[in-house]
Structure 1
Amino acid sequence: MDAGLDSSLAPAPATPAAPTIASIDEGRRLIDDIDVQLRALVAVRRDISRQIQTLRTGEGGPRVQHGRENEIIAAWADDLGPRGVEIALAVLTLCRGSLT
């Protein structure tokens, strides 16, 4: 496992403060860097989610546990409000794959 990922498995600290930027270009570079990190994390999350689904179905369970998904949605909503729900649903859909 990637050493950088190991540290990300620890409980997340409080939301970090955004740095103060001196220019639009600097801000855009920071946003681009964050977007790269977000895409990489979502890809890792997707891969772990698919492994969990395979293990769960291999044990005779359902591929998706709606109660668990509701907990995830609630956490996103608590942290980010109504738009957090939209993000959670998008991440869950991407990570679980098609339900049909």
Structure 2
Amino acid sequence: MAPARPAAARSAAHPTDQRLSQRTPRAPLSAARGASVPRAAAGPGHPPPPHQETRMTTSESITAEHATAEHTIADARGRIDALDDSIISLIEERISVSEQIQATRIAAGGRRVHLAREMEVLRRYRDGLGAPGTGLAMTLLDLCRGRV
């Protein structure tokens, strides 16, 4: 390992050290992240030059992003509520149609429940939605059975 040289000897002897000392100072890291830190300010307490553009502070940026996120979430929840209303209406319609089928089947001397048909429904929901689809189909079938 080379012995340490005094600072004066290092700056005079090595060109890299001279280039490093001649670099212009960089803005603090917070400026790169959008914080309002003037490059040309002389120090703490000095206002930025009048021609310098004012940037949004980090906290203002986070607040704006939060407001945008909240707006997006609120819009999406509104869409989900509308979809849920449609789904509920469709289920009510399905229950009504199922009641007609059951009443007709019973009037013709048949059984209230047709198990082969229920298996078709279970299979369709499982194929379309995976394993949770089977549970959903079971719930629908339960809602639609025995209303007559």
TM-score, normalised by the number of residues in structure 1: 0.74
In 1, are the aligned partners of 2:112 and 2:146 still within 8 Å (CA)? no
Q: Following TM superposition, by how much is the alpha carbon of 1:96 offset from its aligned partner in structure 2, in angstroms?
A: 1.1
Deviating beyond 2 angstroms after TM superposition, the runs of 4 or more aligned structure 1 residues are none
CA distance in structure 1 between the aligned counterparts of 2:99 and 2:124, rounded to whole angstroms: 21
Superposition pairs of residues 8-19 of structure 1, within 5 angstroms: none
Match of 2:73 among 18, 24, 37: 24
2:110 maps to 1:66: no
CA distance in structure 2 between the aligned counterparts of 1:65 and 1:52, rounded to whole angstroms: 10
TM-score, normalised by the number of residues in structure 2: 0.51
| Structure of larger gyration radius | 2
CA distance in structure 1 between the aligned counterparts of 2:107 and 2:92, rounded to whole angstroms: 23
Q: Answer 1 or 2: which has greater helix percent.
A: 1
Q: Which has the higher contact order (CA 8 A, sep 6+)?
A: 1
What is the identity, as a one-letter code, of the residue corresponding to 2:122? I
Q: Deviations over 1:34-84 (max 9, x none)?
A: 000000000000011011000000000010000000000000000000100
Residue matched to 2:136: 87
Figure out how many residues of one structure are paired with residues of the other and give that number: 77
2:87 maps to 1:35: no
5+ residue gaps, structure 2: 1-70
5+ residue gaps, structure 1: 1-21
